[in-house]
Structure 1
Amino acid sequence: MGRLARITKAYDIRGRVPDDLDADLAERLGRAAARELGGPELVLGRDMRETSGELADAFAAGVRAVGVDVADLGLASADMVSFASGRRHAAGVMVTASHNPPAYNGFKFCRPGAEPVSLDTGLADIRDGAASPPAPAATPGGYRSLDLWDAYVAAVRAFAGEHRLAGLHAAVDAGHGMAGLVVPRVLDDLGVTLEGRYLDLDGSFPAHPPDPTDPANLEELQALVRACGAHVGFAFDGDADRVVCVDEAGTVISPSVTAAIIAARLLAREPGATVLHNVICSRVVPETIRARSGRAVATRVGHSYVKATMRETGAVFGGEHSGHYYFRDFYGADSAAVAMMVVLDALAETDTPMSVLAAPYDLYASSGEVSVAVDDPDAALAQAAALLGPDGHVDRTDGFTVDAGTWWLNLRLSNTESLVRLNVEAADAARMEDARDRALAVLAPFETTRR
């Protein structure tokens, strides 16, 4: 159980290959997952990492060993696996380590119908089952390749008025990840000029890490947008379920601002609908939802929590500040490709620059996420709550949030490391910096390092 416990995270299984994760363990995880997730068929996809093929083959062997059929998508994005799970009402597994370095790999899981799986809704059982995997079935499951590209592309395009997109110019940095396979197919024949960088699949990520939330990884896209005169730029992560936008001047658009733009678009189509936002989204997101007569519901950070709340509430959309965007009409899955289409549709319909489209939502000063390594995370959070709580209204949806009116901050524990994560937002930079520095001073006695 040692390495299984180490690589089982809050929402997935992820570790270094082969030190933490190898073909033998992948086979055992396949047997355990097939038994836990249920159903006669499991849809399997993989990213472009050098170890993904071997791990996918071993996982599929484990699934088949316990009598469950494998429908193999081959190379796919994470949202394509979710789409296939929803469309076929089958369990789904994606072999990927998302934005992690090349030495890592792992598995994301969903139940039939793209129902999310987290540590307390089945992932722990898969972990434990892999330690003592089920015995082989008398009759092994079957195997077949599954091609859903046409259906997937049609479902993504349905979120935009295709006829309006002609004439748009989009720059894309796929970071050698799965967006390099997805985006050209989605935009093909729509009249959108695509200026692509790093569209070729390469799991060694020679250009830069596939993490669009790191500003350093956006610099080439910013320069490309300015150089080619694109209306907008999009940067994707490794498995293409996150996206960050850049405007026509090369300025990075906050993922919260993008969430507000998408929320406004979808509420215009469905007035009064419920829209989700996680607790570290800018307050402009719930303000936008309410201003358009929608119902704003805050969730914990993390895709399994957002997806579960979406199912409970029937929310039409959910946004996370990390660049994950969830769509009810896409089986509740997070899809960077769908988010891209909604943004392109907004640009085409309004006939305004991206900077003008974003400006009404860019209202607050933000600290960005500050991660503080501490020797006792629980004690650090308790001390912060005791000292900062009296400043405003306290909410415990995820960690500790205090809202003082002109500023708010959230402190929460990392799910995987001995870290406290701090996010601060205020009406202006001076208030934001004051609140941020006060919070960091409270954490200082517990701090080991900061990033």
Structure 2
Amino acid sequence: MDFDSIFKAYDIRGVAPDQINSEVGRLVGIGFAEFAGVDRIAVGHDCRVSSPDIRDGVIDGITSRGVAVDYLGEVATDMVYYYSGAESVPGLMITASHNTGEWNGIKMCLAGAAPVGVDTGLLTIKSIAMDPPFDERRRGDARTVDVLPGYVDHLFSIVSAGQFKPLRVVADGGNGMAGVALHGVFDRIESDLIGLYLDPDGTFPNHPADPLRPENLVDLVALMKDEASDIGVAFDGDADRAFFIDDQRVPLPGSTTTAIIATWFLRRYPGASIVHNLICSKAVPEAIIAAGGTPIRTKVGHSYIKQVMKESGAVFGGEHSGHYYFRDNFRADSGMLAMLVL
């Protein structure tokens, strides 16, 4: 197995089943269980065709080390982050995010949704997976957990359901994981949801779930015109990223969205610190300063953003790529929460 080719800076990613499969999942599960050193780990996955096979391997590997599994089912990545934070357990998500359907991968976090990357344990997990222990242990149990109700409650503990105007919102799930939670979220607010490609389908039959590419926004913009909607939102495959279309049918760059959300938080927390990565446009720190906040510039990448947010106490962090991080969301990114704030 060529682990060198699939272990990246922040996650594991490769083409299934050639590079990532049940056996790779089993070995990574062993490595993560050994590294985390806990008695319970949460596991979720996206809707890709290869995800159930990798899931079975991951759960087999984790439980073989005597560690129990809380199985969250087919969920968005930020739902795993929520559960990790709320339950103080490590989490593992099987997904290749915005990549096309033949790809898959694994993201991991420690308790409290703390990031796992090359500087925070991923290389150790790789080392264990390449040379796993073989001592016999009593196998851990696996139980199924319905994470959705608690997740939706958590979102509305950060953003009040009573503050929403009766807007018409078109949401393109890209046949990824956003559709799992969108109806439950919109049931709580006055705005109307007009759904596009919300049914999870790991073959991604309509377009790749990558809203960073303009051609994947064409159907969303067309439906916004037909429905006379107020705002559009497009999610990536695992729904941790979101991109927005304004009422003039113009896509908002990630930097613009970062500035808008930062301003919203500074109205709630005057003088607060806001983190942005070094690729964000200069409009971001300018907007933060104009709103009375303190901009903090950092390297690109979620582990850097989260670490700087932790050190500085920042209430929000944004990246040009559509990742938005929230202090009250365990400093984790959430496309759904970004949508509610915007």
1:213 and 2:243 are equivalent in the alignment:
no
Which protein has the larger Cα radius of gyration, Structure 1 or Structure 2? 1
1:279 and 2:275 are equivalent in the alignment:
no
TM-score, length basis structure 2: 0.98
The number of residue pairs the alignment matches comes to: 342
1:323 and 2:322 are equivalent in the alignment:
yes
TM-score, length basis structure 1: 0.74
For 2:185, the equivalent position in structure 1 comes to 186
Residue 283 of structure 1 deviates from its aligned partner by 0.9
1:41/1:90 contact within 8 Å kept:
yes
2:277/2:300 contact within 8 Å kept:
yes
Q: Tell me how far apart the structure 2 counterparts of residues 269 and 38 of structure 1 sit (CA, whole Å).
A: 38
> Residue 177 of structure 1 aligns to a residue in which SS?
coil
2:278/2:298 contact within 8 Å kept:
yes
Residue 165 of structure 1 deviates from its aligned partner by 2.1
Matches for 1:216-227 after TM superposition, within 5 Å: 216-227=215-226
2:161/2:188 contact within 8 Å kept:
no
For 1:266, the equivalent position in structure 2 comes to 265
Matches for 1:178-257 after TM superposition, within 5 Å: 178-257=177-256
Amino acid corresponding to residue 2 of structure 2 in structure 1:
R
2:17/2:50 contact within 8 Å kept:
no
Unaligned runs of 5+ in 2: none
Unaligned runs of 5+ in 1: 344-451
2:42/2:80 contact within 8 Å kept:
yes
Matches for 1:161-172 after TM superposition, within 5 Å: 161-172=160-171
Q: Tell me how far apart the structure 2 counterparts of residues 12 and 167 of structure 1 sit (CA, whole Å).
A: 39
Structure 1, residues 97-136: CA drift from partner, whole Å, max 9, x if none? 0011111111001011110011121111111111111224
For 1:309, the equivalent position in structure 2 comes to 308
Residue 241 of structure 1 deviates from its aligned partner by 0.3
326-335 or 181-190: bigger deviation: 181-190
> Residue 83 of structure 2 aligns to a residue in which SS?
helix
Q: Tell me how far apart the structure 2 counterparts of residues 189 and 267 of structure 1 sit (CA, whole Å).
A: 25
> Residue 252 of structure 2 aligns to a residue in which SS?
coil
Matches for 1:280-299 after TM superposition, within 5 Å: 280-299=279-298
1:65/1:136 contact within 8 Å kept:
no
For 1:144, the equivalent position in structure 2 comes to 143
Structure 1, residues 223-274: CA drift from partner, whole Å, max 9, x if none? 1111101110000000000000001121111111111110001011111111
Structure 1 pair 293–249 and aligned structure 2 pair: CA distance change class (3 A): closer
For 1:153, the equivalent position in structure 2 comes to 152
Supply the RMSD in Å over aligned alpha carbons.
1.1
> Residue 18 of structure 1 aligns to a residue in which SS?
coil
1:32/1:134 contact within 8 Å kept:
no
1:113 and 2:112 are equivalent in the alignment:
yes
> Residue 297 of structure 1 aligns to a residue in which SS?
strand
For 1:338, the equivalent position in structure 2 comes to 337
Q: Tell me how far apart the structure 1 counterparts of residues 333 and 77 of structure 2 sit (CA, whole Å).
A: 9
Structure 1 pair 170–131 and aligned structure 2 pair: CA distance change class (3 A): same
1:96/1:239 contact within 8 Å kept:
yes
1:325/1:339 contact within 8 Å kept:
yes
Matches for 1:58-69 after TM superposition, within 5 Å: 58-69=57-68
Q: Tell me how far apart the structure 1 counterparts of residues 189 and 315 of structure 2 sit (CA, whole Å).
A: 26
1:10/1:119 contact within 8 Å kept:
yes
2:85/2:113 contact within 8 Å kept:
yes
For 1:15, the equivalent position in structure 2 comes to 14
With CA pairs under 8 Å and 6+ residues apart, which has the higher RCO, 1 or 2?
Answer: 2
Query: Percent of pairs identical after alignment?
Result: 43
For 2:49, the equivalent position in structure 1 comes to 50
> Residue 120 of structure 1 aligns to a residue in which SS?
coil
> Residue 151 of structure 2 aligns to a residue in which SS?
helix
For 1:82, the equivalent position in structure 2 comes to 81
